[in-house]
Chain A
Amino acid sequence: MLRYLAGRLLFAIPIFLGVVTIVFVIVRVLPGDPASVALGDYASRDAVEALRHRLGLDRPLVVQYADYLAGLARGDLGQSLVNGTPVRSEVAHSLPFTLQLTLLALVLGIALGIPGGVVSALTRNRAPDGLTRVLSLVGLSVPAYYLGILLILLFAIQLRVLPAIGAGTLWTADSVRYLILPAGTLGLVMAAAVVRFTRSTVLNTLSQDFVRTAQAKGLRRPVVIAKHTLRAALIPIISLAGVWSIGLIGDSVTTEIVFARPGLGSLMVGAMLQRDYTSLQSVMVVYTAFVIVINLASDLLYGVVDPRVRY
């Protein structure tokens, strides 16, 4: 197990470096210059050049890249090119908001999706199954940002029971109110995918020999479902939770924008608009790290829930 883990971590290093390099190059290939964006269209060429020099943007790309890698090795993500704030503090400020959002959405997605899928499978071709399938199809078809707007219109504007935008103060009761709609948005979208996958997995498991054997032995149906069918069906579901989590992180970008929440998504979009290379690179680095860690965790989890898998 440890050997496997070490191997995977070693393998993650070139992937990480590759992504970092690609991001470094891409953000610099984009037209638009942080100094010009920062100074606006009033500024003279002299002022722009002076700022470019102060920010180190007039140095050769290779030198900037080497500096950046050296900083990364020290855990230094650099300073925002636009407002000079240490990017590490920007990321540290934003990360908890994104984690809060995606974790709650993940819990909601699984809590709604797995029971929904099981019910759908057990009532195959009957009304509950039809309803669940239609709802999940709608959930899969509606983009997260659009669903978010619909939820805001209903709960914040019409019913006025929840706030439309913002995040409140992190880790306080206040923040829970602000979290319900965005996390609900992401959770519902994810639940739609979980429902469909769970349904097909449970249906597949129900037709397996061991389930038929359990039924033939005279076990009660709830026991067959809970102990035999669900346990086996959960294995692929859990392994896919990693993939869904990565999808959630992607959807969280648009959700943070719609709900005007701080977070890594807002940080990334803002950095992109302001051509803030260092902030943009750093957010991408954090996202990359997320994906690597989640993939690794889901691989390891797969071994935990499936006794046939050995590392």
Chain B
Amino acid sequence: MMKKRSGMTRRQLLARGAAAAALPALTRLAPSLGLVPAYAAAGPVLRFGISEADIGTADPHYASGTQDRALVDMIFNGLLRYKPGDGTVFEPDLAAEMPRPAVVAGKQVWTFRLRRGVMFHASERVPAYELTSDDVVFSLQKAADRTRSAYAGQYTGITAQATDRYTVGVIVDTPVSQNLFYPLVSNYAGGFIMSRRAVETYGLTAVKTRPVGTGPFVFRAYSPKERVELAPNAQYFRGRPQLGGVDYRYVADIFSRELGLRGGQLDTVSGAQDEVWINKMQAAPNVRVDIFGVGESTVIYFNQNVKPLDRAPVRQAIAYALNRDEFQALVGHKAAVRIVAPLAPFTAGALTEREVESRGLDYKTDPAKARRLLSEAGVTNLGFDLVTSELQSYRIVYESLQAQLAKVGIQVRLRVVDHATYHATIRKDANPLVVYIAFRPNADIYLRSFYHSASIVVTGKSPDTNFAHYAAIDALIDRARVETNPAAQVALWKEAQLKILQDAAAYPIYYQNQVYARTSGVDYGHPLKSVLALYPGVDETTRLRRG
């Protein structure tokens, strides 16, 4: 009966029913299958693949991982900023002009006049509002508070006072040079200006994943272990960003990032700092590779707390046994630049290669001399048990160190551990020779954290990264900090480094620049020389053209 009434067989009925049921699903599938054009977005969104598994924190005063520094750089501003693409030049950011110091009652006062009409981003519970001196004072106080900032140590003796709605005085108890002051109020670490209302409304924990700033991009959403979505800030004081937003994706695996870029799911990725990867990506069609500073220095520290490394001739012997060219060959010459002194050449206060070589402190490879020094010191059968991180950047250095020292009869036994364990281990003073890769924004911070006695691991007054247990240049570091004449300050830093080299407290190897790859349609909007945030810098001038 049914067959007659409907005019079709049961099989036809079932088939048509199935087709009708599948139609809505197919309609939804169609755009993604390329059957119909997808709805065009308002503007191109930059899909940025960064090299970590997840956000650490978007509170700029705690941000320390590369993935967090880059993120907060897009959302927040400082009073001053490093010129985009060039970390050696400062320029006004939220401040309307560069400040000049004045001495008032023995204290140094830097007065900042704020730009007017700068708006904080709107968020769910805090509407957009104008930045005032109140937010600046709040932010600097927060940066200096050890319970609310990881960078509090750098703001000791610094206070801020609002003179009026748009003027802030930053008072430094012991006057410092602009070399040391500008980084403290620039768009890096504790220098970022946060919204007082947002921090107080959301609380310290929530702002880790709910940042509110004044920068070119506005936080929109966070998906754990996946991405942060940023929207363009239409009210940005330097003009509306040209991008339709930033899709900031956490892709921990380098190969996955590479495939994402080549497969068209990512526009920019953080790369590997080795020549093999650089060559491979430079050969890929439609891909550009950017290599730029700031570089992270790789240095071997000789732990003087371990015998016989407490004796300078033994440390010097090890230095003579090592070969910088062999180390550099591991990563190639495209991203790595050899260094012979603690401070990398781009840092104010760095020694030139000639200044080091002319004093014979570059420890040119000389195995015979190494053996002779060891013999004179009465050291035989020298050997070390070392722990290395699983990270390739560390492991290759340790493995090469092992091979090089074997040539002069020093045996190195290596144990590989994961990176967090490595950091924990070396901070417990467990490695006689410590390889450490780091960047620090200025000479004072670098020398203080690696060579000041207060920073000696475990036993220092405020233990940090002085793995060498070195304590011979405290006075030089301290004098340099309070030297307000930049030239005299640089001279003190150079003197301190020469002393480090004479004492063979450490063996600098190379610094490695940042490596990023992008599709040819990405234009960051500025030439790339050096960026403190360790990424190319994405701002209102960044453009994207998808081919």
Contact assessment for B225 and A266 in the assembled complex, using a CB-CB cutoff below 8 Å: yes
Contact assessment for B65 and A267 in the assembled complex, using a CB-CB cutoff below 8 Å: no
Contact assessment for A83 and B226 in the assembled complex, using a CB-CB cutoff below 8 Å: no
Name the distance in Å between A159's Cβ and chain B's nearest Cβ.
10
Contact assessment for A266 and B421 in the assembled complex, using a CB-CB cutoff below 8 Å: no
B182 in contact (CB, < 8 A) = no
Interchain residue pairs A-B with the least CB separation, the first 7: A40-B64, A164-B263, A270-B53, A32-B420, A84-B205, A173-B29, A262-B226
Contact assessment for A79 and B205 in the assembled complex, using a CB-CB cutoff below 8 Å: yes
Contact assessment for B225 and A274 in the assembled complex, using a CB-CB cutoff below 8 Å: no
Contact assessment for B146 and A50 in the assembled complex, using a CB-CB cutoff below 8 Å: yes
Contact assessment for A267 and B56 in the assembled complex, using a CB-CB cutoff below 8 Å: no
Given A40-B64, A44-B152, A167 and B226 contact (CB-CB distance below 8 Å): yes
21 contacts between A and B (CB under 8 A): A32-B421, A36-B427, A41-B423, A42-B150, A43-B64, A44-B146, A47-B149, A47-B150, A83-B209, A93-B226, A173-B25, A177-B33, A257-B256, A259-B256, A260-B257, A260-B260, A263-B225, A266-B53, A273-B419, A273-B420, A275-B420
- B412-440 contacts to A, CB under 8 A, are 417-421, 423-425, 427, 438, 440
Contact assessment for B265 and A164 in the assembled complex, using a CB-CB cutoff below 8 Å: yes
Q: Which of B62, B151, B417 has the most CB of A within 10 A?
A: B62
B262 in contact (CB, < 8 A) = yes
A39 in contact (CB, < 8 A) = yes
Contact assessment for B64 and A39 in the assembled complex, using a CB-CB cutoff below 8 Å: yes
A64 in contact (CB, < 8 A) = no
Given A258-B256, A270-B252, A31 and B153 contact (CB-CB distance below 8 Å): no
- A52-92 contacts to B, CB under 8 A, are 54, 79-80, 82-85, 89-90
Contact assessment for A83 and B189 in the assembled complex, using a CB-CB cutoff below 8 Å: no
The residues of B that contact A266 with a CB separation of less than 8 Å are: 53, 225-226
The residues of B that contact A172 with a CB separation of less than 8 Å are: 28
Interface string of B29-57 (1 = CB under 8 A from A): 11111000000000000000100011111
Contact assessment for B208 and A47 in the assembled complex, using a CB-CB cutoff below 8 Å: no
The residues of A that contact B152 with a CB separation of less than 8 Å are: 44, 46-47
Name the distance in Å between A51's Cβ and chain B's nearest Cβ.
8
Seen from chain B, the residues whose Cβ lies within 8 Å of a Cβ on chain A are 25, 28-33, 49, 53-58, 62, 64-65, 146-147, 149-153, 189, 205-206, 208-209, 222-226, 249-253, 255-257, 259-260, 262-266, 417-421, 423-425, 427, 438, 440, 449, 462-465
Number of contacts between A and B (CB, 8 Å)?
181
Name the distance in Å between A47's Cβ and chain B's nearest Cβ.
5
Interface string of A150-182 (1 = CB under 8 A from B): 001100110010011111100011101100000
Partner of B464, one of A32, A45, A85, A273: A45
Contact assessment for A156 and B259 in the assembled complex, using a CB-CB cutoff below 8 Å: yes
The residues of B that contact A83 with a CB separation of less than 8 Å are: 54-58, 208-209
A37 in contact (CB, < 8 A) = yes
Contact assessment for A44 and B54 in the assembled complex, using a CB-CB cutoff below 8 Å: no
Name the distance in Å between B481's Cβ and chain A's nearest Cβ.
16
Assembled-state Cα–Cα distance A273/B462 (Å)? 26
Given A79-B205, A173-B32, A176-B29, A269 and B53 contact (CB-CB distance below 8 Å): yes
Contact assessment for B420 and A82 in the assembled complex, using a CB-CB cutoff below 8 Å: no
Contact assessment for A42 and B209 in the assembled complex, using a CB-CB cutoff below 8 Å: no
Given A41-B423, A83-B54, A31 and B32 contact (CB-CB distance below 8 Å): no
Of all chain A residues, which has the CB nearest B440? A42
Extra contacts besides A42-B440, A257-B253, A266-B226 (11): CB < 8 Å: A38-B57, A38-B62, A47-B146, A54-B147, A83-B54, A93-B224, A93-B226, A157-B262, A164-B263, A269-B53, A275-B420
Assembled-state Cα–Cα distance A266/B256 (Å)? 13
Given A41-B465, A164-B262, A274 and B146 contact (CB-CB distance below 8 Å): no
The residues of A that contact B53 with a CB separation of less than 8 Å are: 266, 269-270, 273-274
